[in-house]
Amino acid sequence: MPLFGLNCGKKKQEEKERRLRANDREFNLKFKYATNAIKTSKYNVFTFLPLNLFEQFQRVANAYFVFLLILQLIPQVSSLSWFTTVVPLVLVLTVSAVKDATDDFYRHKSDNQVNNRTVQVLSKGQFTNEKWMNIQVGDIIKLENNNFVTADLLLLSSSEPNSLIYIETAELDGETNLKVKQSLTITGDLGENLQQLSQFDGEVVCEAPNNKLDAFTGTLTYQGEKYALDNGKILLRGCTLRNTEWCFGMVIFAGPDTKLMQNSGRTTLKRTSIDRLMNLLVLWIFVFLAAMCIILAIGNGIWESKQGYYFQVYLPWQQDVHNAAFSGFLMFWSYVIILNTVVPISLYVSVEIIRLGNSYYINWDRKMYYPKKDTPAEARTTTLNEELGQIKYIFSDKTGTLTQNIMTFNKCSINGNSYGEVFDYAGNRLEINEHTEKVDFSYNPLADPKFAFHDHRLVESVKIGDPSTQEFFRLLALCHTAMSEEKKPGELVYQAQSPDEGALVTAARNFGFVFRSRTPETITLVEMGETKVYELLAILDFNNERKRMSVIVRSPDGRLTLYCKGADTIVYELLDRSSEDLKEVTTEHLNEFAGDGLRTLVLAYKDLDKQYFADWRKRYHEASTSLEDREEKLGELYEEIETDLKLLGASAIEDKLQDGVPQTIETLTKANIKIWVLTGDKQETAENIGYSCNMLQDEMKEVFIIRGCSSAEVLEELRSARRKMNPESFSDNNDVNIQIKKGSKKTQVIPDDDVKGGDTYGIIINGHSLAYALEEKMEVELLRTACMCQAVICCRVTPLQKAQVVQLVKKYKKAVTLAIGDGANDVSMIKTAHIGVGISGQEGMQAVLSSDFSFAQFRYLQRLLLVHGRWSYIRMCRFLRYFFYKNFTFTLVHFWYGFFCGFSAQTVYDEWFITLYNLVYTSLPVLGMSLFDQDVDDRWSMEYPQLYDPGQRNRYFNIKEFVKCVIHGVYSSLILFFVPYGALYDTVRDDGKAISDYQSFALMAQTCLVLVVSAQIGLDTGYWTAVNQFFIWGSMAVYFAITFTMYSDGMYLIFTASFPFIGTARNTLNQPSIWLAIFLTTVLCVLPVIAYRFLRSQLKPTFSDKVQSKIREAKKRPPPPPHRAKIRRTSSRRSGYAFSHQQGYGDLIMSGRNFRPKIPFHQTGKFTPSDRSRNTNYY
């Protein structure tokens, strides 16, 4: 129905299935599908003002001040001028609105940049450049090499044989290895024929838009035939076309309907825990304010009924007031206006200024600046700084966040000799750095100039023709599924299915065994300058069970050889007895490599008998063409031939972590922050990185693997893990079980379970198992088990599952969460977490654009949290404690004065003092403390991560601390009222004239107040700067200067009605007795604080007190932090199979479907790794 005269329209019906037709916009427009335009901004020109005001008035205090303004416009109850509320309220709303508008402007800018990209669209028989935002469902578009995929497309045809294409999905799942897609044969025949493409009118019926990245179901009806569509024929927005000249696709899902955008999550308004607590406290203060006003209103009613009638000459009733009850009612609202300063609006102005200032500190921090990419840290929001000091859980992506996406051939073991370390002439091991001499590969014209190795013994072994060494690198050059191309003369380009396989092939290339080209039947190598063509007879492909791959080749001299590489635990079982001695030595080397966190593979070979192989090959052909149990029959044949292998050695690949990742994780763990890794990578890859970055450790009693394929299996695995960690957690008397039974589902907070015996555990969960574990009936079990583990790694997870894991912790744990990532696949969890951090410059900028904070390296996270976060939290807490104290002290003096002024709503202070108290006299000192204060400097903050603990526990500002502030304020207000009252009672000046008048009392009370709160800010300041000194002393000087000016004869003569306190300052403040009373008042207010803090630091010191004591003992120069040695795991564990392979890629190579017959290979050239283009932002 119409709302305010506007027809809001019907809610869009949920889409059950999608039906579309190629090249027919008229048909597709009937369904009103979304266009390809995306929108991440919150406002537009018309909605900004109403929406922004609506958001701001969600703050209870802002709504309260509007209510106060309305009261002040009523003459019968107004005790202060209306502008005293309007000016600060408008200021607060304007500052917040400008900040929100600026943030949204950058979102609009980002959206426009993406929406205005161009792509070639087929229209009226020819291709025209069209903006992304104008693309519609059913359009046919053309993509070229290295183009971003514009929308979710059905692949029609491509430049590659059999309409294959290669795509990189780093923005979707974090993996940089290339994936293969292939179109239907019927559409592949369209090629690049514009006439056929224009006449193509295939009709697609498929699933509705959803967030499942790995699944697609649909059918294509074309020329009366129906064809099945699956995920292998769909290109998703967010992918990049690689190694493919061109391809054509039909738009299936566009804009917000694409799977990437369906996974991106909603942008929500983030509020800090302190914001939420302040809203609660404001409500409490309202109750407290109402109680005070009721007491004073009742007092007024009683006083007016018994005494007020006789004082009508001095206190006449308002014109419409005819009885004491109505007078009390009006006085209630008058006192609401007078006492409203318990929640001053300047509080919110100050909070915004403090947050803005602390945000600039992050932007200006040179220690978080990354010079290699000229990337500073950036606080993209200014409302969440103090939340950085309260983080309990960190959810991190792996690829590009913990790692650099760079694989390097680091070490190897060949025939019992370990290579990769560098020694001096005395035999001492040297640390390898950028100044260490590199091996000279100039003897090899095909070497990759970017490849670096430092152990000269290995290249010498190759040069002298050591058979084992040469066979080792020959195996690496032959046993792989990489592709080689030479599109430019003299430039070899490898396209490997995984970056670690590419690193191994590149290592073989540099040491003289260059993989030059391949066909379905041959592999061409250049061995030490001599070209050799090997006949490729079979590829025994990798799968998750085999954890190895093998090739069978025939050398030019007729030698038949099987080369195998795989996980050590698997290959060791296939070795013959002659390798036992070498196996022991190689095992020692593997332990050392694993101790360095390297990813290892064992290499072995076997010479084959020609007659036996001929028979085996015949059976292999029969098995590969079998229609029943094909995989089982092939597996048996693989097992049969992969026996009695001879061990060659082992390779060690470093999945290069970003600088400082292990140390950062170690430091954050000491700060009691739990780190969970959520990655789209395979389990083996994620597990290796877990060990490399010191999350998983060999000292752990057990690392649980959750890999169940049903709800029942996953539940049993989770419970089994929890039972091992603490059998008592299943007891009915267990505190957590009691809490779960007691609490309601929506508001339940589940405490952590204890781990028996103090052992540590880790847990690794697969994506398909996680889907079951996140079901409502199992999510609590998942959370309890995971939170008992020191390290949690979730692998093969979708972007939406990342967000669901974060949401699960937010739902059941009273903890602040932080998500950090670098790709579009991390956007959803970044938006879901309390704090989102984007790593810039790895997989595009989409994560940065959706984040609250950004920087270039993971290691900067520890400084962001332990320094900036902790300081921001401490500063905000000290600010709030002091602010509430000084305003309660200021306001409650009015309450006590009400009992002495006939409850007439008369103010204690001069009206100008009330106006300037928060604006001038006390604003700068507290801002100075809130912007510059620190308990210890940044070096000590990093050296003692345990200092972070109070923020996690919310120790520095909570309801208990607020009650202390109220009690302190009540005590100080009593002193500030009754000591001056007693001091001036029946008092005379030195010349005998009386000064026991209202104006003298008001001046003395406000002078005492300014001095007391100035002394208190001095006690609260832990780090003194010239700015602090200037603000505190300057504020007191300004107070006296303004007071003497306003109370002067001149001001009275010019503005008689506005400045009635003529001569009060000079007549009162020249009396010694007054200053004695002021001194006594100040001492009585601050002495209990000094005594309490001294006794607490001596009898029950906090960890911060102990650290500060150490600093004082160290005098002016603190000791330098101890040198932190490189973290090295002494491990008996050997990394598993390192490849991020897809099963079946070997079959693709052997079939020849992915080969172009036309590409020539030049005789000379150099290899340049494929530089993956990373644009700044896309969806």
Q: Are 206 and 127 in contact (CB under 8 A)?
A: no
DSSP 1058: T
The closest alpha carbon to 477, from 516, 531, 535, 529, belongs to 516
DSSP 1152: T
Amino acid at 778: M
DSSP 778: T
Name the residues annotated as catalytic. Answer: 397
Q: Are 1084 and 979 in contact (CB under 8 A)?
A: yes
Alpha-carbon gap, residue 247 to 182, rounded angstroms: 11
Rg (CA), the chain: 37
What residue has token string 């091992």?
A: 724
**Cα torsion through 563, 568, 573, 577, rounded to 10:** 70
Written as six digits, the tokens of 270 are: 């983030």
Residue 743 φ then ψ, to 5°: -80, 160
Written as six digits, the tokens of 652 are: 């060690």
Alpha-carbon gap, residue 867 to 1102, rounded angstroms: 18
CB atoms within 10 A of CB 653: 26
Q: How far is CA 374 from CA 21, 406, 951, 1085, in A?
A: 48, 20, 32, 52
Written as six digits, the tokens of 820 are: 């950090």
- Report which secondary-structure segment, H or E, holds 380: none
- Bridge partners of residue 18, in order along the sequence: 206
Written as six digits, the tokens of 142 are: 């053309």
Written as six digits, the tokens of 779 are: 């999510």
Centroid of chain to Cα 22? 41
Alpha-carbon gap, residue 618 to 609, rounded angstroms: 14
Amino acid at 437: E
Alpha-carbon gap, residue 437 to 452, rounded angstroms: 10
Contacts of 336 (CB under 8 A, 6+ apart): 68, 71, 289, 290, 293
Written as six digits, the tokens of 296 are: 């004073």
Q: Are 64 and 282 in contact (CB under 8 A)?
A: yes
Alpha-carbon gap, residue 540 to 546, rounded angstroms: 10
SS3 content of the chain, % helix, strand, coil (to 5): 45, 20, 35
Alpha-carbon gap, residue 503 to 565, rounded angstroms: 14
Alpha-carbon gap, residue 383 to 268, rounded angstroms: 13
Q: Are 89 and 65 in contact (CB under 8 A)?
A: yes
Written as six digits, the tokens of 522 are: 């041959």
The closest alpha carbon to 982, from 1059, 927, 900, belongs to 900
Alpha-carbon gap, residue 320 to 473, rounded angstroms: 103
In three-state secondary structure terms, 464 is coil
Alpha-carbon gap, residue 725 to 173, rounded angstroms: 32
Written as six digits, the tokens of 149 are: 């995929």
Contacts of 611 (CB under 8 A, 6+ apart): none
Written as six digits, the tokens of 176 are: 């940089």
Alpha-carbon gap, residue 599 to 500, rounded angstroms: 9
Alpha-carbon gap, residue 233 to 448, rounded angstroms: 35
- Bridge partners of residue 178, in order along the sequence: 168
